[in-house]
Copies of this chain bind each other. A is one copy, B any other.
Amino acid sequence: MTVTKRTKHDVVWEFRCNEILTAARKLFAKKGFAEATMEEIAAATGLAKGTLYLYFKSKRDVYLKTLQHGTAELLELAAGNVQQAIGIRAKVRALVETRVKYADENRDFFKIYLTEFGGGTHPAAGSKEFRDLPLKQAAVIENLLRGGAESGELGPLDFEAAAFTIQDMVRSLITRRLLGWSKNERNHDVDFLCGFICGAIGC
C-alpha cells in the first residue's frame, strides 16, 4: 500500500516537474537565463510562483535540470546508436544523425545547450555536473575513432583533437539548422557532413 501511494505520488511529482521544465525550457531558449523570470515560468505552467519552489530549489536549479534531461538522453542515445552501427563510417553517421535529429526535435533544449556549451561564459558555469560535459561527449567520439584505428579502418591521428573538432562540426550543422540558415532535408545535411568528416579523418 505504501508502495502504491508512493508511486502515485511520484507520478504526479514527475508530471509536475516535466510541466515546469517544458515551460522553462521554452522560456530559457527564448530569453536566456537572466531574462526569464520565475513569474513567467509559473504563468506558463499554470502554477503559482511559490509552487515552483516545491519542485526546484532555485531558479538555477530549474535551469540546470532543464539541461540535465536532454544531455543525458542525448548522450545515451548517441552511445547506443553508435554501438549498434558497424564500421567506422556507419558509426560516424549514427553519431551525426542522432545528434542532428535530436536537435531538430528538441529545439528549445538545444538553444539552451548551445548557449551553455558555446565556449563562453555561462550561467551553469561552476556547476560540477556540467563542467565536463563536452569532454564526456568528445570521449564518445574519441573512442569511436580509436576503435576505427584499432580495426585498421583509420590511420594514425590525434584522436582527442579530432574528436573535439568533429563534435564542433556537428554543432556547426545543428546551429545552422536551428537558426534557419539551412533549408535542406536533414538527410542531405547529414550526408554532407559525414562526407566532410570522412574526408578529414580519412575513412
B-contacting residues of A (Cβ < 8 Å)? Answer: 28-35, 111-123, 125, 135, 158, 161-162, 164-165, 167-169, 171-176, 178-179, 181-182, 189, 192-193, 196-197, 199-202
Taken together, the copies of this chain in the complex come to 4
Closest to A196 in B: B200
Report the bound CA distance from A169 to B193 in whole Å. Answer: 12
A115 cross-chain contacts in B, Cβ below 8 A? 115, 118-122
Some 27 contacts from A to B, beta carbons below 8 A apart, are A28-B121, A32-B34, A34-B35, A34-B123, A111-B119, A112-B120, A113-B120, A114-B120, A115-B118, A115-B120, A115-B122, A116-B120, A117-B118, A119-B178, A119-B179, A135-B181, A161-B176, A161-B182, A161-B196, A162-B196, A165-B169, A165-B172, A168-B171, A168-B172, A169-B169, A199-B199, A199-B201
